[in-house]
Each structure stands twice: as structure tokens, then as C-alpha cells.
Amino acid sequence: MKKQKDPIAEARRYVENARKTLSENGELNVETKRYEDEKYVRAAGNYLWLGVLMALDAVFHVRKDRRTRVDINNYLDAIGKRDRKLLDYVNDGYDVMHLYMNYDGNQAKGVSDEGFRLANTIIDRCEAMV
């Protein structure tokens, strides 16, 4: 049987993969402070959000099985009962990482920077709760 990895360390690995994706592939136009190709912004946003979900699962156990899809509202309900500040971070993170970066492919560097900041903040708070 395969040994379960530390979910917080795994979440941080996803954040590092997102950083690597943007730094190695996402050409940044320094003048406009925008990434040239939204493909890499989308990929980075997806990595960030998946890392956040791993960290949240380590604390809140909302997902019963990795193969099941969980509605974001299930996470928000569980988080709201325990940590209101984390709830604010997750709401903002959902918008920035999942919607703006992943779905919209927003190429502004400031949006990506905020996504990384929120992901690290959420993972840090989850680590303190484990």
C-alpha cells in the first residue's frame, strides 16, 4: 500500500509548480506587466487552486474521496464554522486563482502575484490548524 504524502507539503509543491510554470514559460512583458501567453497563467492558476484544495482537505475533510467533486460551498460552510479570516482568504482565492487566473486567463502580473500571496496565506493557515 502506498504511503500517504503530507498534504501541506504537497500543496506547497503545487505552488512551486505554478511558480516554475510562470517563470520558465510565461514571458512577462516588463513594460505592460502582463504575461504574453494566457496558457501559462491558466496552468499556474489551476496549480495554485489545486494546492489550496489539498491544504483545505487536510484540515476540513470535506472531500471523502479524491474521485468525488465537491462544491465550493461545502468548503465555505466548513471553513466558516471554524475560521472566519480563512473564509475571507478562500473567497478571495477562489476569485483570483480559480476564476481570474484559471478560467479567464487574466494576464496581468498583479493578479498572478495576488494568487500566489493568497495561496501561501491559505496554506500557512491550514498548516497551523493541522
Alpha-carbon distance of 122 to 63, in angstroms, equals: 17
C-beta neighbour count of 89 within 10 angstroms: 19
Please report where in the chains the cell 471523502 appears, as a residue. 64
Looking at residue 1, its pLDDT comes to: 41
- Could you report the per-residue pLDDT of 108-129, keeping only the tens digit for each? 999 999 999 999 999 999 999 9
Nearest to 99 by CA among 110, 91, 87: 91
Question: What are 6-18's pLDDT values in tens digits?
Answer: 999 999 999 999 9
Which set of grid coordinates corresponds to residue 55? 491544504
Indicate the class that CATH gives domain 7-129.
Answer: mainly alpha
What cell does 110 get? 498583479
